[in-house]
Amino acid sequence: MSNHYNITNELQNIIKNDLEDISDITVQNDTVCFNIPRDQYVKTILESNLSGPTPPVLLQDNKNVLVEFSSPNIAKPFHLGHLRSTIIGNCIANINSFLQNKVKRINYLGDWGTQIGFIQMGMKLTNIDSTEIQTNPIKALYKAYVTAHKLAETDSTIGDRARELFKKLELGDSSTYKDWQTFKDYTVHELTKIYKRIGVVFDEYHWESMYNASTTNHIINLMEDMHLLTLDNMNRRVIPISEKRNIPLIKSDGSTLYLCRDIAAAIDRFEKNKFDAMYYVVDSAQRDHFSNLVQILNKMNIPWADRIKHIQYGRVQGMSTRKGTAVFLEDILNEVKEIMRERQMKTHTTKVSLDETDDSSDILGVSGVIIHDLRQRRMKNYEFNWDLILNMKGDSGIKLQYTHCRLTSLEHNSGAILTTECDPSLLQEPEVDDLIILISKFDEVVLKSYEELEPCILTVYLFQLSNAISKAWKTLTIRGQPTDLGEQRLLLFHTSKLILAEGMKLLGLTPLEKM
């Protein structure tokens, strides 16, 4: 059996120490090629993964990594655009953690700007009471925002009053501050429920308001001392990026713009975390914003500016429930959960109780939605497609869950006992080789996903692994076979299950044991 790895010379000794009898080692253009005795390779791969995959060794010291992702605005719908940021960012954070980097997950919520004034105006205009806000806060606050914004299209005084309300907030007005704090509290409470449902946990919640005018003064003063700021013809303080391009940071009334707050946030985060890399998982429409951020930090002679990486992604198109257009992700998740439960109720092979305590329908639905997204290349726009999400037989999240459940059931019901020692002479079928090669590629795939910041690489690999497991399932039967043969085949399927489960967890899925 031969294998090929893109590998540096530093790892040749590791290879030699891990596997004896390697022959014909050649190195060309940083690629090491070698031959390994087939049976020894099978034995090494199965026995070394008996307790699950271990993190591959990185060639540099473990990094201190910050990942900012999800980051919705308060009182705005959590839709599939936010979901893309959330699940891509979560996957990138998971892979970094698996590789033993020190990772901090940050959710940076938009709670500042004129939008807050529009929400407060809308609350007064629509007479939304506290009960409605407590029951469904994000939808209630969104209703208030939309109402005020629509009225402002024909009544300019609405916009003026909204801006005045926000200015009062910036100046510390107690009544305005109390309302704003209430909006934030309700929003976080509601978002936490959504994040729990899709299996995402944040280490820290940050707020845009943490970097308002009063807390960014020292940044502005530093820019002034460096003679970086000028006034434009609208009396805004701007920083020239080129001869023809000025970037506004401070509005004429003295309030800060979003970019100014992002500069302050980046500096604050480095001072507190000394990060080696900070990833902003934000759609490609914000490309110029993050380019400006890095350029301004460079102009300020910030030595770590190049450690900031904008992780771009494309848009989701055609987002809707099957009954019509949807604004909220919750509506999508509720519908896919309902469909999965109906399927489970109609299927005679369903192994779960489907009572109120069972969450398998929701996990299956979430898995379908997540994998529908992560199977795409990150920069690609894609169409939201119900048929692909719900596909049980093709490459989907539901198929990955089904494969994992089958393997779990096999361990419980095959009648064989799991052995810890591999006898490769009993594992000679081509299907064995297919699985062994895929299992051995897990580290390589994880590293490639890490280097390219591309979750689809791992997703496609898991599809390949799942399909190879299904193929082996048909020929490598266990029940009714001689004891030693059954034990060896169970070892092969057990190792495959552990690799599949670890990959699913890295993508943000919760592997089910029954469905």
Average pLDDT over residues 88-92: 98
284 and 362, same domain (yes or no): no
Which own/partner pairs from 228-231 qualify as long-range (CB within 8 Å, at least 24 positions apart)? 228/299, 228/300
Computed over every residue of the chain, the mean pLDDT equals 89
What amino acid is encoded at 171 in this protein? L
Please name the residues in contact with 511: beta carbons below 8 A apart, sequence gap of 6 or more: 401, 404, 500, 501, 504, 505
Q: What's the pLDDT band for 251 if we cut at 50, 70, 90?
A: confident
In a domain, 477, yes or no: yes
Whether residue 79 lies in the annotated active site: yes
Which one is predicted more confidently, 67 or 322?
A: 67
Instruction: Give the active site residue among 4, 16, 79, 167.
Output: 79
Reply yes or no on whether the pLDDT at 57 is more than 60.
Answer: yes
Looking at the fold, whether 105 and 167 belong to one and the same domain comes out as yes
51 vs 41: CA distance, rounded Å: 17
In terms of domains, do 91 and 163 share one? yes
Q: Which CATH number characterizes residue 449's domain?
A: 1.10.730.10
pLDDT tens by residue, 338-394? 999 999 999 888 899 888 888 999 999 999 999 999 999 999 999 888 889 988 888
Indicate the pLDDT class of residue 504, thresholds 50, 70 and 90. Answer: very high
Are 181 and 288 contained in the same domain? yes
Range(s) of the domain holding residue 97: 64-209+274-317
Residue 187 domain flag? yes
Q: How far is the first Cα of the chain from the last one, in angstroms, to the nearest whole number? A: 37
**Could you tell me which residues are beta bridge partners of residue 152?**
none
Task: Flag whether pLDDT at 454 surpasses 90.
Answer: yes
Is residue 261 domain-resident?
no
> What percentage of the chain reaches a pLDDT higher than 90?
61
pLDDT of residue 380: 92
Task: Choose the catalytic residue: 4, 43, 63, 82.
Answer: 82
Number of residues that make up the chain: 515
Q: What average pLDDT does the segment 91-100 reach?
A: 97
43, 63, 76, 448: which one is catalytic?
A: 76
Q: Is the pLDDT of residue 416 over 90?
A: yes
> Domain for residue 256, yes or no?
no
Distance CA 195, CA 173 (A): 32
Asked whether residue 37 falls in the same domain as residue 109, the answer is no
Regarding whether 437 and 290 lie in a shared domain, the answer is no
Half-sphere exposure of 178 (CA within 13 A, CB side): 2
d(CA 158, CA 65): 43
Report if residue 246 sits inside a domain.
Answer: no
Q: How far apart are CA 366 and CA 198, in angstroms?
A: 6
Lowest mean pLDDT among 229-238, 465-474, 496-505: 229-238
Phi and psi at residue 321, in whole multiples of 5°? Answer: -75, 170
Flag whether pLDDT at 14 surpasses 60.
Answer: no
- Is 215 part of a structural domain of the chain? no
User: Within 201-328, where are the H helices?
Assistant: 217-225, 258-273, 287-299
Quick one: how many helices (H) and strands (E) in the chain?
19, 15
How much is the pTM? Answer: 0.90
Tell me: pLDDT of 294 over 70.
Answer: yes
Measured CA to CA in angstroms, residue 278 lies from 97, 268, 367 at distances of 14, 12, 27
CA atoms within a 13 Å half-sphere pointing along the CA-CB vector of 43: 14
Q: Are residues 282 and 360 both part of a single domain?
A: no
Q: What mean pLDDT comes out for the span 293-306?
A: 97
Domain count, the chain: 3
The mean pLDDT value for 429-449 works out to 96
Residue found by looking up tokens 């809308």 in the block: 122
Is the distance from CB of 497 to CB of 491 less than 8 angstroms? no
| Judgement on whether residues 336 and 312 belong to the same structural domain of the protein | no
Tell me if 475 is assigned to some domain.
Answer: yes
The verdict on 157 and 32 lying in the same domain is: no
Residues 27 and 169 in one domain: no
Check whether residue 384 and residue 285 sit in a common domain: no
pLDDT band of residue 327 (cuts 50, 70, 90) is: low
Question: Residue 119 is part of a domain; what is its CATH number?
Answer: 3.40.50.620
Indicate whether 4 pLDDT > 60: no
The fraction of the chain above a pLDDT of 70, given in percent, is 94
Segment of 12-16, 165-169, 453-457 carrying the highest mean pLDDT:
453-457
Last residue of a domain, one of 317, 349, 372: 317
Of the three residues 290, 317, 344, the one that is the final residue of a domain is: 317
CA dist 5 and 18 (Å) reads 15
Residue type, 350: T
pLDDT 10s digits, 103-123: 999 999 988 888 889 998 898
| Residue after which a domain boundary falls, among 317, 350, 377 | 317
- Asked whether residue 18 carries a pLDDT value surpassing 70, the answer given is no
Cα 380 to Cα 82, 283, 317, 373: the distances in Å are 16, 11, 11, 10
What type of residue sits at position 186? Y
Judge if 189 and 336 occupy the same domain: no
On whether residue 232 sits in a domain, the answer given is: no
